[in-house]
Structure 1
């Protein structure tokens, strides 16, 4: 992170005094005030027209202010750093919310509603994720298969984290395969056809830091390069997962978030299985495998294996509880029944 901070300081002419990772953003405290920092793959440079089209539409259909990009000292809207793009938004005086989960759910529903009338011909097919979940998930699982095969084929000593990933392989692969089958078995493609009438745009990984509330009651959208064409269930499921990763499973917060969303735009009963499938799918674990797989051997040897193992285990255990309790929450709170997966419980790695 220090290298990134140095790049931001030199590119924007700032002195960064402190920073804090909050969900999908990094809050920067500088000698020029507060800024929000977001990072994207360098390939997103071509996403500019798509972002501008969606932004222009939202400015006329929603009550949100879309935060502008801060220009660099060279009058550019972002910084290019090898395979990444760095963006800054100006900070706002954020309110301390009494019921943040409920208000975030409401605001997210209003965001989705505002995108319903976005003309289809204004959306680039390059950024359409709608209808692609099963194939995308299977591709990521295939990467884990490839990693496993490569490690199995090696002779000699492997790294401790390789051992952990190999021990986790059967469980994680089965969990991912189950998520794909669950999607297909609960009508994913049919829901994908219905969702444009409910909202056309979603975030890739919706989290804290994308919808902001100021002290005057105004609401803001940040991180527009995260926008994709997809169903609203994606944002709902990703928010729930992000809260689980950060704080563990919290049925009360999850229910308040859903209540807030439903108060504006009630979810269809058929959409809840899509959210459950997202809980089943070990996406962050598989991204970690991809990241580790791509590291040079010398970097693998220098990793803090214990920290990576602990993080991976904590995520799997937290998601297990959510997978068990989410269907019960829906049944007790909304009278909605969804198919339940019962098989997944297992002992943590290293325990009897």
Structure 2
């Protein structure tokens, strides 16, 4: 086990088994059940921010994360290679009925508890508030840089290089459309309108960050992935993660949004911002960024077919979600979310990709 030595030396835990789940892992040890989470090593500078948010949530009697297990040296995390590792004691877990609805409720309670958080200007390095268009354009420029590199370098092109290059027009246009969509959705205005609804979100929210036990209900984990941002980020990321796992399952999305709205209803303007986030091909561009940093030798070792299959599958699933979400939101909540028609033009149109299933429905 790659973590066996670290857990033994840092926490005094003897690892019996390790099973991955979401952004974390479940550990069976000589001292019982624990959960292990990871975050980039650069996040270690977030400790004051995380502690301040924790104290704020506690003062609000709001939902807060599980207590971290300290290392033998009294630290709340350990750094290994380029990762922070941190540990929670395990729970006697229970899965609530209507899991998606409960997940929406818990997320809403968390956001609600951070709405009055003060001192956010002290932690600007951890803020993404109001900066989505700039961040997205930066990632798109990196994709442009990768394409330019391929034009200039006299190197062997791998099959995965070919896939990324042939996908360029579609993915880049999708990203640019997402940026323009935010502007049309009056993103800056929505940021201000929702400031009191929640100031802390996750880098990439996943339902596995919420755990339930049989006696005490819900608990949060993953605080090293907290950032200062609007609540729409977590809601959009939950939908994207759900779609990438299971495709568009309308009842699941409806249950999650109903759960959230039962605590603190979303503003009508937020549904379009969430759609803008759904449009943005963040996972794809992150892979491009990571792949571009590899050496020529490392690229040869990449499982290009596996990466391609995953990315292609996610894009296909998201296309259906992008087609269905505006209709669903209008029917269920009476809110108009403008659609992006170019995604589903007929097959004889000169486009690099089409949504043939959607155009035939």
Q: If the length of structure 2 is used for normalisation, what is the TM-score?
A: 0.91
Q: 3-state DSSP class of the match of 2:16?
A: strand
Distance 1:322 1:121, change over 3 A: closer
Residues 63 and 113, structure 2, Cα contact 8 Å, conserved in 1: no
Q: Measured at CA, do residues 171 and 5 of structure 1 come closer, stay the same or move farther in structure 2, by a change above 3 Å? A: farther
Structure 1 match to 2:347: none
| 1:164–1:123 distance in 2 versus 1, CA, 3 Å | same
C-alpha root-mean-square deviation of aligned residues, in Å? Answer: 1.7
Residue 56 (str. 1) matches residue 50 (str. 2): no
Q: Structure 2: state its 5+ residue gaps.
A: 345-352, 356-361
Aligned to 1:150: 149
- Tell me the residue number matched to 2:66: 67
CA distance in 2, matches of 1:102, 1:168: 36
SS of residue paired to 1:80: strand
SS of 2:73's equivalent in the other structure is: coil
Cα distance in 2, alignment partners of residues 210 and 228 from structure 1: 14
Q: Take 1:196 and 1:328, find their aligned partners in 2: how far apart are those partners?
A: 27
Q: CA deviation at 1:6?
A: 4.5
How many angstroms apart in 2 are the aligned matches of 1:75 and 1:56? 19
SS across alignment from 1:3: coil
Contact 1:62–1:111 (CA under 8 A) maintained in structure 2: no
Measured in 2, the distance between the counterparts of 1:133 and 1:235 equals 13
1:62–1:110 contact (8 Å) kept in structure 2: no
Report the equivalent of 1:343.
342
Q: Contact between 1:196 and 1:231, CA under 8 Å: does it hold in 2?
A: yes
Q: 1:80 maps to what in 2?
A: 79
Equivalent residue, structure 1, for 2:97: 98
Deviation at residue 218 of structure 1 after TM alignment: 2.4
Alignment of 1:240-255 (within 5 A): 240-255=239-254
Counterpart check, 1:43 vs 2:42: yes
SS of the residue aligned with 1:264? coil
Aligned mates of 2:250, 2:203 — CA distance in 1 = 23
Residue 112 in structure 1 maps to residue 104 in structure 2: no
**Is residue 282 from structure 1 mapped to residue 281 from structure 2 by the alignment?**
yes
> Deviations 1:38-94 (Å, cap 9, x if unpaired)?
211222111111111100010121342421222223332211123221111112111
- For each residue in 1:310-349, what CA deviation from the matched residue of structure 2 results, as whole angstroms up to 9, or x when unmatched? 011001001001000011110111111111112124259x
Q: Which moved more, 1:169-178 or 1:291-300?
A: 291-300
Pairing 1:22–2:21 present: yes
Instruction: Encode CA deviations 1:212-265: one digit per residue, 9 max, x unaligned.
Output: 221114221211111111111001000111111222221110000000000111
Indicate conservation of the 8 Å contact 1:24/1:208, yes or no. no
Q: Deviations over 1:138-184 (max 9, x none)?
A: 00111111111111212242111111100111110000000000001
SS of 1:258 mapped into structure 2? helix
Equivalent residues in 2 for 1:290-309, closer than 5 Å: 290-309=289-308
Superposed counterparts of 1:313-324, under 5 Å = 313-324=312-323
Checking the alignment, whether the CA contact within 8 Å between 2:23 and 2:38 is kept in structure 1 is no
Runs of 4+ in 1 over 6 A off after TM superposition: none
Count of equivalent residues: 347
For the 8 Å contact 1:59–1:66, the answer to whether it is kept is no
Greater mean deviation of Cα atoms: 268-277 or 190-199: 190-199
TM normalised by structure 1 equals 0.94
Gaps of 5+ in 1: none
The offset of 1:208, in angstroms, is 1.9
